[in-house]
Structure 1
Amino acid sequence: MFTEAIAAFAPRLPLAVAYSGGADSSALLRACAARWPGQVHAVHVHHGLQAAADGFETHCKDTCAALGVPLAVARVQARHARGQSPEDAARRARYAAIAEVAARSWGEGGPRDVALAQHADDQVETILLALSRGAGLPGLAAMPAQWEWGGLRFHRPLLRVPGAELRTWLAEQGAAWVEDPSNADPAYLRNGIRAELLPVLQRLFPAFRSTFARSAAHAGEAQELLRGLAEQDLRATGIPPAIAALQALPRARQANALRHWLAEAHATAPSAVQLAELLDQIDACRTRGHRLHLKVGAGFVRRSGALLDWYNPALSS
């Protein structure tokens, strides 16, 4: 399945591969370098989160030198803000660093497509984490196969390939990789899912990787429809939304439009409890004197005349 996934992968060239030194990205880098000789770059993000990070960088430099693949290294400090998960902070810092490397190191003719090595097991873990948190469609859609960030097009060509297959392929190549110590840390729920839950799913539902992938794709399609509806409704309510225009929408469409506004305009997301309270308060805003000031996501939604406003005191100070 791995070789078929690489054969079906059709990025624009030259291509950059996000290379951590671990098994998954090692397999992706080697396969892409073999398929497109001289057309592949590597970018390694040094997160500075653990003592082994310097060793990862050294391994990546040595491997890329042996493969004849140019390597760019980006250093980030992925500290998470209050209310943000460490994984999310590291992910956002990683994408931003790759975009910065593209602008600084690769130049005008450098890669504009970036391949990431997340595979089928990673996708299943993401879906299970979303379910455990009571996530909506965006969470259940899990990781997209392709999206754009910072002027780059990111790809995940291995989302239907089991992780064990990548390690088998590497072993057949006689290739070395590094093991991230955090992958064995039981403090991370994702590691518990990988070690304890996936083997049970394999025994009870042998095709779970492909069926979970189909469910994620269905959720992604439904989320695209909701996104289009939210954009349509926000064209009618305005941005920031007018309270009276929101009140004219059914409650479910109000919620959909508000989630989209907060995500797109302010990069924040309300909890289910926060969103329900906000909808109740919007419904109660029938007089000019009704005040509205609620904690929503990483900041506050307040009434500003006939409109809603969102602000984060930490950003405005």
Structure 2
Amino acid sequence: MGAGHPAQADCRRGVRAALEGMPPGSLALAAVSGGGDSLALAAALAAEGAAHDVTVGAIIVDHGLQEESTDVALLAAQQCADLGLAPVAVVPVEVTATGEGLEAAARDARYGALAETAAAMGEEHPAHVVLLGHTRDDQAEQVLLGLARGSGARSLAGMPVLTVREGTPFARPLLHLPRETTHAACAAWSLTPWTDPMNEDAAFARVRARTALVDLEAALGPGIADALTRSADLLRDDADLLDELAAEAAPEGGGAGVAVTDLTGLAPALRSRVWRRLLLAAGAPTGSLTAGHVAACDRLVTDWHGQGPLHLPGDLRVVRADGRVTITPAGRGQ
């Protein structure tokens, strides 16, 4: 498969970097929705697999959220097979909206299906990885959403190039490329992307963020997406270091709670991260836990004047009593 167009070469370079160092015979799988970003990823993976002695395939998750979803999944699978990817799996999932919304539920179902399918496919290979088609524009939208939520550095750090979910490595080899590059690559490879109508539905925060980025570029000039992604890279390094320090500083929790004195001596930047670790460990949903929730918990330590229990996402109750802070499900005790 050629790479005559610069966009094709850009996509291939990103995938090449993701495959380097994988043992011979490993399995690399593209997560393909049928959209332009993931099809360009699939084509680049098909072009690079042989040179790295890696088996290359694809997983298409059918969320079943639209009437034509099965047809879209089958068309994506056929295009992946035509590119030379094998194995190719279409995996249907059931999405049930939760308190975090339909997008979050679909994302959780998708990652679960990708991890489970990749692990099963990878049993006969020395290593496996799932490649995701997120682009620089997706990263900029993620950072903008974090800004809108008033989140901390971790949220503003956006998506990492490499992460692990349920034991499966996920890589984002196109995260440095603009969306226009992946779509140009699709055209050069004569692929037929699917346009998700949900990407035009302003009911979803990500769609509104996408529109806002266009407006910002028009008002402030080009380069906003690049600036946001550069900021994310810098903040990710800072957040990684602070998270490591917070892990070392975190006191032991448990049923008896945490002593207030174990928290008061920590620097604010560390204490907020310790709070977040404690809340997540107690069952707070990641997507629903805001900086405001963490700040309210922190006031139980720094501005204590007898305020009552806090009720947080995940049906958690945070209480200060007798010099200790306890975090428990709202229906249990207290």
TM-score bracket, shorter-length normalisation: 0.7 to 0.9
Moved more, 67-76 or 166-175: 67-76
Structure 1 contact 120–209 (Cα < 8 Å) conserved: yes
> In 2, distance between residues paired with 1:180 and 1:188?
13
Matched, 1:4 2:13: yes
Letter in 1 for 2:75: H
**CA offsets 1:129-175 (integer angstroms, 9 cap, x no match):** 11122121111101111111111111011111111111111111211
Letter in 2 for 1:21: G
Structure 2 contact 95–105 (Cα < 8 Å) conserved: yes
Q: Which residue number corresponds to residue 259 of structure 1?
A: 276
How do 1:178-257 residues align onto structure 2 when only pairs under 5 Å count?
178-195=194-211, 197-198=213-214, 200-201=216-217, 204-234=220-250, 237-240=251-254, 241-257=258-274
Q: Which residue number corresponds to residue 26 of structure 1?
A: 39
Q: Which residue number corresponds to residue 64 of structure 2?
A: 48
> In 1, distance between residues paired with 2:114 and 2:129?
11
- How far did residue 307 of structure 1 move? 5.1
- How far did residue 252 of structure 1 move? 4.4
Indicate how the Cα distance of structure 1 residues 15 and 314 shifts in structure 2: closer, same or farther if over 3 A, else same.
Answer: farther
Q: Secondary structure at the match of 1:94?
A: helix
How do 1:80-95 residues align onto structure 2 when only pairs under 5 Å count?
80-82=97-99, 84-95=100-111
> Could you list the runs of 5+ residues in structure 2 that have no partner in the other structure?
1-9
- How far did residue 187 of structure 1 move? 1.9
Structure 2 contact 216–224 (Cα < 8 Å) conserved: no
> In 1, distance between residues paired with 2:137 and 2:237?
21
For residue 280 of structure 1, the aligned residue among 299, 310, 317 is 299
Letter in 2 for 1:184: E
> In 1, distance between residues paired with 2:70 and 2:174?
27
- How far did residue 96 of structure 1 move? 1.2
Matched, 1:101 2:117: yes
Q: Which residue number corresponds to residue 174 of structure 2?
A: 158
- How far did residue 264 of structure 1 move? 4.6
> In 2, distance between residues paired with 1:315 and 1:6?
49
Indicate how the Cα distance of structure 1 residues 115 and 305 shifts in structure 2: closer, same or farther if over 3 A, else same.
Answer: farther
Give the share of equivalent positions with the same residue, in percent: 30
Indicate how the Cα distance of structure 1 residues 309 and 81 shifts in structure 2: closer, same or farther if over 3 A, else same.
Answer: farther
Q: CA RMSD in A?
A: 2.9
> In 2, distance between residues paired with 1:196 and 1:259?
29
Q: Which residue number corresponds to residue 5 of structure 2?
A: none
Matched, 1:167 2:183: yes
Letter in 2 for 1:207: G
- How far did residue 214 of structure 1 move? 1.4
> In 2, distance between residues paired with 1:159 and 1:152?
19
- How far did residue 33 of structure 1 move? 0.8
For residue 124 of structure 1, the aligned residue among 140, 143, 156 is 140
Report how many residues are paired: 310
> Could you list the runs of 5+ residues in structure 1 that have no partner in the other structure?
none
- How far did residue 30 of structure 1 move? 0.9
- How far did residue 111 of structure 1 move? 5.4
Q: Which residue number corresponds to residue 17 of structure 1?
A: 30
Stretches of 4+ moved more than 6 A in 1?
none
- How far did residue 31 of structure 1 move? 1.0
- How far did residue 26 of structure 1 move? 0.5
> In 2, distance between residues paired with 1:140 and 1:59?
35
TM-score, with length taken from structure 1: 0.86
> In 2, distance between residues paired with 1:142 and 1:315?
35
- How far did residue 32 of structure 1 move? 0.5
Indicate how the Cα distance of structure 1 residues 232 and 169 shifts in structure 2: closer, same or farther if over 3 A, else same.
Answer: same
> In 2, distance between residues paired with 1:4 and 1:250?
42
Structure 1 contact 119–160 (Cα < 8 Å) conserved: yes
Q: Secondary structure at the match of 1:9?
A: helix
Indicate how the Cα distance of structure 1 residues 181 and 119 shifts in structure 2: closer, same or farther if over 3 A, else same.
Answer: same
Letter in 2 for 1:248: G
Matched, 1:311 2:328: yes
Indicate how the Cα distance of structure 1 residues 211 and 102 shifts in structure 2: closer, same or farther if over 3 A, else same.
Answer: same
Letter in 2 for 1:35: E
Letter in 2 for 1:26: L
